[in-house]
Amino acid sequence: MQVPEALMESVVRGWRDLSTRLVQIGRDRPEGAAGIFVNPPVTRGSTVLFSSLEAMDAAGQRRYDDELIYGAMGTPVQHRLEQAIAELDGGRYGQIVPSGLAACALPFLAYVSAGDHCLLSDSVYGPTRRFADRVLRRFGVEVTYFPPLADEDELRALVRPTTRLIYAESPGSHSFEVQDIPMLGRLAASIGARLVVDNTWGIGLFDPFAAGAHVSVQALTKYPAGHSDTIIGAVSVASEQDWRLLRDTAIQAGQTAGPDDCWLTLRGLHTMGVRQERQAATAIAVALWLHERPEVRRVLHPALPSCPGHENWKRDFKGASSLFGVVFDPAFDAADMAAMIDSLTLFGIGASWGGYESLVLPTTGSISRSCRSVTQDGPACRFHIGLEAGDALLADLEQGLGRMAASRDGRAGA
């Protein structure tokens, strides 16, 4: 599948530009020592021993300076990873937490109290929504979902005097709407609320702070770790005051990540540029191929005009990731799509994404929404494209679509 040059460039440019920085990021400089290993050691530990009580007190006073106090308050490799993620995300400070979902929950725990109100995009990651509905509401926090592409007037009508936090995720989980984050940033600033953006898809490609966000949420489980072997997350922030509050809250809530997970993620980060340059290039080729298939009603890839909010992607992003959605023609049903998915040999069936391997997951019926989404126009699924050869993936999809048509024809004949 030939991808027009300008389109390909718009998809891979950001990853190529990042590669050089990613090689160096988080690396030690050989200052005191004559030589050092390229990668930092893993420091496993709970208790840190001090030479005196005075030294222990002094370390406690410097707890925001990456001082070693106790394993639950951070290890050297965690602090290294925090700096790397903050730099990559366009922020200044980072806090590592044990999962992407822990990162989604942390800003609510830090900023919101009983009686406060939060506005969440209707397209947020499902478990974030469940945290809001089942935990936040139980603690007396009010939650309203807004259409991901709502304009400023629609949003202003939903704002209350108690609105403390606006939470966006762009592109949206499963439905891939690319949100107008700069507009949300202006709105948040005008009402004195915090804007939190789940930037997992756009890591390294979108700068949420330049768009007015206060906190960027990252599921590092995805592209940074990159090998489907770790669960880990981070928040990054631009202001030191926000960071102190988020770090204190993470420690108070016992959100500690293991040093081995931090180390794996730091290692994955160094190759993320080249993995993603390749995966994003294959993904846009597969997306375009699907776009031209008669079985497909709509491809939800932010770099294509068929994706809701594509104009925002064009304005705000330096590239694209390798995760996108497809909505099939409503002549097919969920069972036809299941026949296609079950027949694929190169696409694993499973949750998550961001590893080196291709995945597929149905998105029909499995997501809750308050507003209508394009994923309801026909059976829908989500593809994650890995490092396999594009031709092999297309051949697998070709036979899969054949199975889907045979399933539909079987129903029509029955």
Ligand X SMILES: *Cc1c(COP(=O)(O)O)cnc(C)c1O
Binding residues vs ligand X (CB under 6 A): 99-101, 104, 125, 169, 173, 198, 200, 219, 221-222, 231, 233, 352
Distance CA 272, CA 200 (A): 13
**Which CB atom, from 125 or from 289, has the smaller least distance to ligand X?**
125
Is the bond preceding 4 in cis, omega lying within 30 degrees of 0? no
Shortest Cβ distance from residue 176 to ligand X (Å)?
A: 11
How far is 383 from 387, CA to CA, in rounded Å? 13
DSSP output for 121-141: ETTS-HHHHHIIIIIIGGGT-
Q: Please state the closest distance from residue 356 (CB atom) to ligand X, in A.
A: 16
Shortest distance (Å) from residue 198 CB to ligand X: 5
Sign of the Cα pseudo-torsion (184, 363, 199, 258, in order) = positive
Select 190 or 368, whichever has its Cβ closest to ligand X: 368
Question: Quick one: which H or E segment has residue 395?
Answer: helix 390-413
Q: Please say which residue, 270 or 382, places its beta carbon nearer to ligand X.
A: 382
CA–centroid distance for 10 within its chain: 20
- Of 317, 301, 329, the closest CA to residue 401 belongs to 329
In angstroms, the Cα distances linking 199 to 25, 279, 286 are 19, 18, 23
- Min dist. Cβ of residue 109 to ligand X (A): 15
Going by C-beta distance under 8 Å and a sequence separation of 6 or more, which residues neighbour residue 225?
A: 232, 261, 264, 265, 268, 354
- Pick 319 or 355: Cβ nearer ligand X: 355
Q: What does DSSP assign to residue 303?
A: T
- Four-CA torsion 305, 309, 311, 312, nearest 10 degrees: -150
CB of 308 or CB of 390, closer to ligand X: 308
In angstroms, what is the minimal distance from the CB of 187 to ligand X?
22
Q: For residues 173 and 276, which CB has a smaller minimum distance to ligand X in the complex?
A: 173
The residue of the chain with the least Cβ separation from ligand X equals 100
Nearer to ligand X, 308 or 400 (CB): 308
In angstroms, give the least distance from the CB of 192 to ligand X: 26
Do 397 and 381 touch, CB atoms closer than 8 A?
no
Q: What three-state secondary structure class fits 164?
A: strand
> Which candidate, 49, 76, 50, 54, places its Cα nearest to that of 65?
76
Residue 197's H or E segment, with its range, is strand 194-198
Q: Is 68 or 231 the residue whose CB approaches ligand X more closely?
A: 231
Closer by beta carbon to ligand X, 103 or else 149: 103
Instruction: Tell me how far, at minimum, the Cβ of 232 lies from ligand X, in Å.
Output: 7
Nearer to ligand X, 191 or 231 (CB): 231
For residue 179, CA distances in Å to 127, 172, 203, 310, 361 come to 20, 8, 15, 9, 23
Cβ neighbours around 195 below 10 Å, total: 25
State whether residue 175 is helix, strand or coil. Answer: coil
Question: CB 86 → ligand X: shortest distance, Å?
Answer: 18
CB of 31 to ligand X, least distance (A): 34
The residues, any chain, with a CB within 8 Å of residue 332's CB and separated by 6 or more, are 295, 378, 379, 404, 407, 408
Q: Tell me how far, at minimum, the Cβ of 173 lies from ligand X, in Å.
A: 6
